Structure 1
Amino acid sequence: MNYYVLGPLLVRSESAVPGASPPAPAAGHLTAPKPRKVLALLLLRANLVVPVETLIAELWGDEPPASAHTTLQTYILQIRRMLGRILNACPERVASEILITASGGYRLHVGPNELDLHEYERLAEEGRQALSRLDDVEGAALLGRALAMWQGGALIDVRLGPVLQVEVRRLEEGRLDLWQQRIDAELRLDRHHAVLGELGSLAARHPLHEDLQAQYMVALYRAGRRTDALEAFHRLRDTLQNDLGLEPSQRIQRLQHAILTADPTLDHTQTRADQLVYAELP
């Protein structure tokens, strides 16, 4: 069985072609919004017991109907039937081995390499470990492989309730942090030309994110586009002032000054992430 949450919510049999992007829905694919929410939450907490109260909160918020428990059981049955069709397994096996009723909740058993989220987290952790060993080449490659597993936003085709909203926000924030770490490594490897397009897109999507804006400014400067780097600073300043009534942080202002004066510190590509040029300028 293969499960996908880093993009559309999908379930496929193991006979599917590996690396399909995105995979086609399997037979018996759930279409009703509420059962899809239940499946999504069970997958995000795969191999853990998800309490009934948590599932009910996701489905109905603070105002569940009197029939909430019975209706949830119906959704669980629908998911089990869908899994059984995909696996060609009897309902008893699905209930005892895959989607299991546990004390106070339900647990979806997911094996190794079955869930894209688990593979993403494995690659991300290996990439971070490589960076901690000062191996930027391996770290950047591993983080790049992790990020390439995303097919759009997490659970992009699921109507998120309050619990899933928190879970998806956590995933998206972690993805953005991983992007920054990978770009830091790429900049230290003097690959500013390679990341310029990606950074430009990220900077446009996160106009108030000072770290991304700073990375973009550094990459532009190193690519010989000092005027564009200064324009990026002015866009950030205008956005901060107009949206929040704030001025850029001191380190961003120091970066602007360094770009204006062509400070040679900006060309030190091997500076570590925690001593990145825009944080350490005089």
Structure 2
Amino acid sequence: MATRQVIRQRRRRRRLMLGATVAVTSVGVLVYLVMALLPGHKVDAGPAAATPLVTNQPTVAETAGTPSPRTTSSPSPRQSASSSASPKDTASPKAAKPSATGAQKSSRGSTTPPAAGRIRPNTSYQGVATAYEAGVGDGACLFGPSPDMMIAAMNTTDYETSRACGAYVLVRAANGKSITVRITNECPLPCAPGQIDLSQQAFAKLADLKVGRLSITWSLVSPSSIGTMSIRYKTGSSAYWCGIQVIGHRNPVARLEVSTGGGWRSLPRTSFNYFISADGSGCGKAIRVTDIYGEQLTVSGLAVRPNVAQPTRVQFARH
């Protein structure tokens, strides 16, 4: 009896041990299978090297409203370049549209005085005064009708290819009387150097018209009461050819230049007081005017409007 009981106990222990072994083995197999089936899990035979975990899931900081470096709103360098080049993203101001009163921009500068012409500042000249019927006051300078008749024609020599046009001259007679006139015309030969042909109205301020000829001295002046100057394009002007005239300037004009994109170009002056751009260079572009004292006035924004006196906002300084 004792022997059979011992045998039964041994068989029971074997079954328990076998069952435990099978159970442990089954659990191990199950764990292995579960781990193998996990997404993104890789089973290696040896230990793997530690690498940063890259994920596209938002972090707690991002979900709380604080952007991480990965989700920052700053554009990349390539995006910055493309957005900077886009006109809609630039902050540069728009060009001003021309208004009915003109949209020109004006500036003032100074340079060394250009080569002096025959009529120089602070110089007194001797000659004779004569008189002519000036009509409405127009003349070789092509300014058009004059607002007053205190005007004169300069002899051809001192007219100097219209360089004298618009100059204000103080004329003094031997009898002590004086008058300031504006040069609007040319007095051809036999007018001699130094001679000024006054309008009859101006001559009458100095002496009776019956006198005919009057000994005078005269000099250049810079009047105080004068408005701003104007620019006029000649009839027939376009983007391919243009003549430019300065009107209402206080001091004689020595040079007129136009902007050509690559710099300033000086235009030749004609005897009829227009500066000509024969190939259209600078027509409708910025204009720079220099007086005999070296002061420069720059005006931009004027369209090519033939035979229209376009006012500016500038005037030469008084001397």
Range into which the TM-score falls when normalised by the shorter chain: under 0.3
Query: Which is helix-richer, 1 or 2?
Result: 1
Larger radius of gyration: 2
Q: TM-score, normalised by structure 2?
A: 0.20
Query: Which is strand-richer, 1 or 2?
Result: 2
Q: TM-score, normalised by structure 1?
A: 0.21
